[in-house]
Structure 1
Amino acid sequence: MSHPQLLPEKHPKCGDIMRALLHCHDTAGWRRYYGACEDLNYRLSKCLVEEKKEFRAPRQAMFHEKWAARKAKDAARMAELEAEAAARKASEAAGAVEQA
């Protein structure tokens, strides 16, 4: 799995793991190709996922609030349209009875 650029400044929560992974890549030499840094790589992946969840949570909550408001507005509009359709149908039925 690849990571974004390993810039600890951009990801303060995962900075220590990033530094350790970079150090491992610099010092492990050919052993890194055989899994010498895999534990750090896995921990960094987990850390970045958690960081993204925390970063995304406020935006996701805001979206859900907007979505719920729009859904309520749409439901009210549909009820209004259905009432208009029922009234129109009733008036057409009453007009048909008068003509007969």
Structure 2
Amino acid sequence: MHPPISAHKHPDCYEIMQELEKCHKSGFFNYFLGKCNNLKKDVVQCLSKERLKQQRANQKKKKEKRQNAEISKEDQ
């Protein structure tokens, strides 16, 4: 299950998520027979990449914050 579709929260995956929604709404048989499975896999992969990208950015910020805290400790 993927998170709710919102362009501002998932800019890299928004288009793929829209395509998946269209596929699901195109008919029960498409959904039931697995016609949307490839799009679902693409969404999952995209969200995973997006999450890792955000995680790395957060780790970088935290590392910089720690370094600044250590520098200020040494100055005292």
Same fold (TM over 0.5): yes
Task: Give distance in 2, aligned partners of 1:43 and 1:13.
Answer: 12
More helix by share: 1
- Give RMSD over aligned pairs: 2.2
Residue segments in structure 2 that go unaligned for 5+ positions in a row: none
Q: 1:56 — aligned with what?
A: 55
Aligned length: 69
Higher relative contact order (CA 8 A, sep 6+): 2
Listed one character per residue, the Cα deviations across residues 36-60 of structure 1 (whole Å, up to 9, x for unaligned) are 1000000000000111111121211
Q: 2:44 — aligned with what?
A: 45
Task: Give distance in 2, aligned partners of 1:25 and 1:9.
Answer: 22
Task: Give distance in 2, aligned partners of 1:30 and 1:63.
Answer: 48
Q: How does 1:70-89 map to 2 (within 5 A)?
A: none
Q: TM (normalized to structure 2)?
A: 0.73
Percent pairwise identity: 30
Paired residue type of 2:25: D
- Larger Rg, first or second structure (1 or 2): 1
